[in-house]
Amino acid sequence: MNSALRYLLARSLANGLLARLKRLRQPKYLLGAIIGGTYFYFYFYRFLFRGGLPTGVQGPSFFPDAFWPDVGAAILLVATFVLSWVLPASRAAVGFTEAEIAFLFPAPISRRALIIHKLLKSQFALLIISVLFTFITGRFRAGSEAWFRMGGWWIILNTLSMHRIGASFALQRLRERGMADWSRRAAALFALVALVVVAEMTRRSLPALPSAGPDIAGFLAQLTRTGPLPYVLAPFKWIVRPYFAHSAHAFLATLAPALGMMVLHFLWVIRADVSFEEASIAAAQKRAAFLAAHRKGEMRVIGKSEKAKTPLWRLRPSGFAPLAFLWKSLIKFGGRRTFGLWATFFAILGAGALYVHASIGQQMPGPLVVTAAIVGIGCYVAGLISLFVVGQNATAQLRQGMAAMDLLKTYPIPGWQLALGELLGPLVLGTLLQWAALGIGAVLAASLFAKIHGAQRIITLSACALGVVLPALNVSMSILPSAAALYFPGWFRPQEAAAPGIENTGLRLIVGISQFLAIAAALLPALFFAACAWFAFGKCVPHFQWQAIAAVCTAAIVLALEVALGIAWLGDLYDQYDGSSE
Amino acid sequence: MIATDGLTKLYGNFAAVRELSFAVRPGEVMGLVGPNGAGKTTTLRCLAGIIPPTHGTVIVAGYDMAVNPLEAKRKLAFFADEPRLFDYLTVRQHLEFTARLYKAKDAATRSAELLELLELKDKADQLPTELSRGMKQKVAIACGFLHRPQVMFFDEPLTGLDPLAIRRTKDLIVQQAKQGVAILISSHLLHLLEEVCSHVLILKRGEKIAYGTLAQIHSQFSTDGKDASLEEIFIRLVGEDAGK
């Protein structure tokens, strides 16, 4: 390898690690690193490398071990085919940074050396991803197997990565020979369909499909070992087998074919003399634009061109200022078209839910019941997650707005209106989505549990209660993080939220814990006064429904008061904000 | 020297550069001007061997870029519009890396000279994140000068610099030309080009519409006996494309 490129890789790695270590001198990163490290140790490391979970916790394996490499090979085949031959554009782009392009492309370095540099450089990232995937997929496996899993992931990811590069070169050649993208995609899909047809024909030549249980595993294993499928799957099986090894001996035994496949891919990639420079420059520019937008807090999709969007309503030149911010946020969300699409989506789901509700007492088809249950559970889960997400989105919007603080502070608007305006868009959108999910979930849940006495009443009441308190709860969820962002802008920069590393994972955990504390802090007074109202009202009108209404209204009023105070507080922070001190 | 004959770059049916032929001899500074989208950056990238032309030949310091790209590239330096540096290499390490890249002789002495000349000595052990844009530009220039190239390509080298940095960059370019380097500069700052360039090439929609020494361009396109500025000539020639 070129000594300059070797120097670049070694120095960049060493300096990068050093810079991260130096960053730990800042308390926020040190705290993040401690919390992130503790999280990784307790959640993953001790299970992986200290003998795994106790034997009793590990569930019995439903399928025999020999079954999994076949499944893995089939998944890898489809992933390789779709990711490398169907989805990509024809232009062969190799991922270089703008600095690499500026220094290396005009330099006396051959294409082959550039590709080798790229492959070597990707090793560090692939190793990190392998470790991460091992954490995720091997958390509950016994100790020493973690190393085989990591090695297995590294081989799979490396081969897949080289296959994608090699395929992109091949596609570029096909394009240069006049093959259009659509015909190439059609040919690739045709090949995939042909493989499925062959598999189906093979299946028909076998005995009938067993109903359930480990026999399915045997049947599928037989399927992948009959007809042409074993030959098609063989190379993919060689690649995935180290991942499924249970012992050092088994791992070493499967290593040679897997490494052989890697070497073949390596030779395929470096021997291709394809002009990848232009596409690489374009890709680097897009990536740089994306990163620049991300640093500003804008989540723009790479390569997506923005078009003018129709606002939901016509903004009058005078009126309540926060409404202008809301108007702007709704345009950013996608304007009338996106809003209409979401409204249609929820209207269809709502109509379906009402249909299910209308069918209570009748014999409903099994698939409908299953679908209704899935949608209902999905709605409730989405609602639960959204409790955290809506507040976070609102805070993120406020932080993005802080980038233009110089402009905002020149507006003749009081600080509380600025704060409310920045938060309003995500809060209104989030609450509308929550109401829709809650309504549909409640209708479906009431339908599915119709036979249980009193269930409908409880579900309806709780949905209404949640619906009433949600808007205020969402605002209160965003107040503490927003205040923290205004108090310590250097600590809460959005661009660092998605950065990799243990210390950043720790920072994200801190933000998550803060959110949890925020919801607890907001709910405690509301729950206290709601309980007071419940008992006080119960003495006057001892009826469950009226007591509940009184309690919910009290909770909503308390939350609304908290929100009003919180917005006023944010307004003060806006007025006092001094970004120059950061 | 730089010589190109029939340089053409096509993107599908769209010609970014069409049948471009010109030469820049040692010691000459040619200004490459044109409105946005005229094909200036594409031309520079083709000449520097960053992207391959669709047709035509490119000769750099006597080497054909298509036949002997590594030798040709060893003789040139390319300066992009934005100084793009490696996040985790210090200023000194950028120079060490570049020295290895071009197998530069007496790299240590040359690096010390350039750090001194470009007032980077105090910043030698800093990472790019700690540098201003002007400082980054200086690092890019130092890296480009390190291997004593015979040919230099500058893409908008003066954009974003303060007046002092503009003056110093101009002086450096003129100094390099005096030492026999063939230089091609693309810039929108026409009055500054007039100060440093010996030749001008005006592009419009990928095609050459004017080419010659500054004096030739002035005499060819000035009217009413008055010596028009390059800016006036540019606007007259480019017409409705200017300002796009």
| Model pLDDT for residues B73-106, shown as the tens digit of each residue | 999 999 988 899 999 999 999 999 999 999 988 8
Cα dihedral A235/A240/A244/A247 (nearest 10): 80
Cβ of B140 within 8 Å of Cβ of A102? The answer is: yes
Chain A residues whose beta carbon lies within 8 Å of the beta carbon of residue B71: 108
Q: Which of A5, A23, A103 to mutate to test the interface with B (most CBs of B within 10 A)?
A: A103
Task: Give the C-alpha separation, B37 to B203, whole Å.
Answer: 10
Task: Give the C-alpha separation, A95 to A276, whole Å.
Answer: 10
Count of other CB atoms within 10 angstroms of residue A385: 11
Cβ of A277 within 8 Å of Cβ of B51? The answer is: yes
Task: Give the C-alpha separation, B181 to B24, whole Å.
Answer: 10
Provide the pLDDT confidence category of residue B62 given band limits of 50, 70 and 90. Answer: very high
One-letter amino acid of A217 = A
Cβ of A16 within 8 Å of Cβ of B88? The answer is: yes
- Residue A456 structure tokens: 């409908």
Cβ of B100 within 8 Å of Cβ of A3? The answer is: yes
The C-alpha angle A385, A518, A535, rounded to 5 degrees, equals 95
In the prediction, which pLDDT does A490 show?
62
pLDDT at A130 over 60: yes
Helices (H), A359-414: 366-402, 405-408
| Model pLDDT for residues A62-108, shown as the tens digit of each residue | 555 667 788 888 888 888 888 888 887 767 678 888 899 999 999 99
Cβ of A15 within 8 Å of Cβ of B74? The answer is: no
Cβ of A107 within 8 Å of Cβ of B102? The answer is: yes
CA-nearest residue to B69 within chain A is A108
| Model pLDDT for residues A14-39, shown as the tens digit of each residue | 998 888 888 788 887 788 888 888 88
Cβ of B98 within 8 Å of Cβ of A103? The answer is: yes
Residue extents of the structural domains in chain A: 64-293, 328-581
Chain B residues whose beta carbon lies within 8 Å of the beta carbon of residue A107: 73, 101-102
Percent of residues, chain B, with pLDDT higher than 70 = 97
Which of A19, A99, A108 is the closest to B85 by Cβ? A99
In the prediction, which pLDDT does A298 show?
59
Highest mean pLDDT among A225-234, A310-319, A498-507: A310-319
Q: How many residues does chain B have?
A: 244
Quick check: B222 contacting A, CB < 8 Å? no
| For residues B36-53, average pLDDT | 91
Chain B residues whose beta carbon lies within 8 Å of the beta carbon of residue A104: 101
Cβ of B73 within 8 Å of Cβ of A106? The answer is: yes
Cβ of B127 within 8 Å of Cβ of A101? The answer is: no
Q: Which of B88, B90, B147 to mutate to test the interface with A (most CBs of A within 10 A)?
A: B88
Cβ of A7 within 8 Å of Cβ of B52? The answer is: no
CATH 3.40.50.300 range(s) for chain B read 2-75+150-241
In the prediction, which pLDDT does A264 show?
95
Highest mean pLDDT among A265-269, A547-551, B231-235: A265-269
Which of A3, A102, A278 is the closest to B80 by Cβ? A102
pLDDT at A214 over 60: no
Chain A residues whose beta carbon lies within 8 Å of the beta carbon of residue B87: 12, 16, 99
In the prediction, which pLDDT does A495 show?
42
Task: Give the C-alpha separation, A50 to A46, whole Å.
Answer: 5
In the prediction, which pLDDT does B75 show?
94
| Model pLDDT for residues A131-161, shown as the tens digit of each residue | 888 877 765 555 667 788 888 999 999 999 9
Q: How many residues does chain A have?
A: 582
Average pLDDT across chain B, whole number: 89
- Residue B234 structure tokens: 């540019």
Which of A98, A99, A108 is the closest to B73 by Cβ? A108
In the prediction, which pLDDT does A56 show?
43
Q: Where does B2-75+150-241 sit in CATH, by number?
A: 3.40.50.300
CA-nearest residue to B73 within chain A is A108
pLDDT at A318 over 60: yes
Cβ of B143 within 8 Å of Cβ of A103? The answer is: yes
Cβ of B101 within 8 Å of Cβ of A106? The answer is: no
pLDDT at A60 over 70: no
Task: Give the C-alpha separation, B228 to A140, whole Å.
Answer: 79
Those residues of chain A whose CB sits closer than 8 Å to some CB in chain B are 2-4, 7-8, 11-13, 15-16, 19, 97-110, 275, 277-278, 281
| Model pLDDT for residues A502-541, shown as the tens digit of each residue | 777 777 777 778 777 777 887 889 899 999 988 888 888 7
- Pairing outcome for strands B182-186 and B151-155: parallel
Whether residue A455 contacts residue A518, with contact meaning beta carbons closer than 8 Å, is answered with no
In the prediction, which pLDDT does B241 show?
59
Quick check: B87 contacting A, CB < 8 Å? yes
Cβ of B85 within 8 Å of Cβ of A281? The answer is: no
CA-nearest residue to B103 within chain A is A4
| Model pLDDT for residues A460-498, shown as the tens digit of each residue | 888 888 888 889 888 888 888 888 888 776 665 544 445
Size of interface A-B (CB pairs under 8 A): 87
Provide the pLDDT confidence category of residue A310 given band limits of 50, 70 and 90. Answer: confident
In the prediction, which pLDDT does A477 show?
83
Q: Which SS3 state, helix, strand or coil, does residue B210 take?
A: strand
The C-alpha angle B117, B119, B121, rounded to 5 degrees, equals 105
Task: Give the C-alpha separation, A84 to A169, whole Å.
Answer: 10
| Model pLDDT for residues B177-221, shown as the tens digit of each residue | 999 999 999 988 888 888 899 999 999 989 998 899 988 888 887
| Model pLDDT for residues A325-373, shown as the tens digit of each residue | 999 888 988 888 888 999 999 999 889 888 888 877 777 677 777 788 8
Q: In B, residues 1-40, which contact A (CB 8 Å cutoff)? A: none
Task: Give the C-alpha separation, B32 to A32, whole Å.
Answer: 51
The C-alpha angle B43, B47, B51, rounded to 5 degrees, equals 80
Quick check: B230 contacting A, CB < 8 Å? no
pLDDT at A58 over 60: no
Task: Give the C-alpha separation, A32 to A503, whole Å.
Answer: 4
In the prediction, which pLDDT does A581 show?
53
**Nearest CA distance, A124 vs chain B (angstrom):** 15
Chain B residues whose beta carbon lies within 8 Å of the beta carbon of residue A4: 97-98, 100-101
Task: Give the C-alpha separation, B218 to B236, whole Å.
Answer: 12
Average pLDDT across chain A, whole number: 81
Cβ of B84 within 8 Å of Cβ of A105? The answer is: no
| Model pLDDT for residues A365-405, shown as the tens digit of each residue | 777 777 888 888 888 888 878 877 888 888 888 888 887 78
Chain B residues whose beta carbon lies within 8 Å of the beta carbon of residue A105: 48-50
CA-nearest residue to A108 within chain B is B70
Task: Give the C-alpha separation, A189 to A82, whole Å.
Answer: 8
DSSP per position, A294-316: HHTT--PPTTPPP-----SSPPP
Cβ of A106 within 8 Å of Cβ of B71? The answer is: no
**Nearest CA distance, A105 vs chain B (angstrom):** 5
Whether residue B58 contacts residue B48, with contact meaning beta carbons closer than 8 Å, is answered with no
The tokens 């949905």 sit on which residue?
A463
Which of B48, B90, B97 is the closest to A8 by Cβ? B97
Give the side-chain half-sphere CA count within 13 A for A54.
2
Chain B residues whose beta carbon lies within 8 Å of the beta carbon of residue A110: 70
Task: Give the C-alpha separation, A163 to A214, whole Å.
Answer: 34
Segment B177-182 long-range contacts (CB within 8 Å, at least 24 positions apart): B177/B27, B177/B28, B177/B29, B178/B27, B180/B26, B180/B27, B180/B150, B181/B26, B181/B27, B181/B149, B181/B150, B181/B151, B181/B152, B182/B1, B182/B2, B182/B24, B182/B25, B182/B26, B182/B27, B182/B28, B182/B150, B182/B151, B182/B152
One-letter amino acid of A121 = K
Task: Give the C-alpha separation, B120 to B117, whole Å.
Answer: 8
CA A407 to centroid of chain Cα atoms: 33
**Nearest CA distance, B89 vs chain A (angstrom):** 6
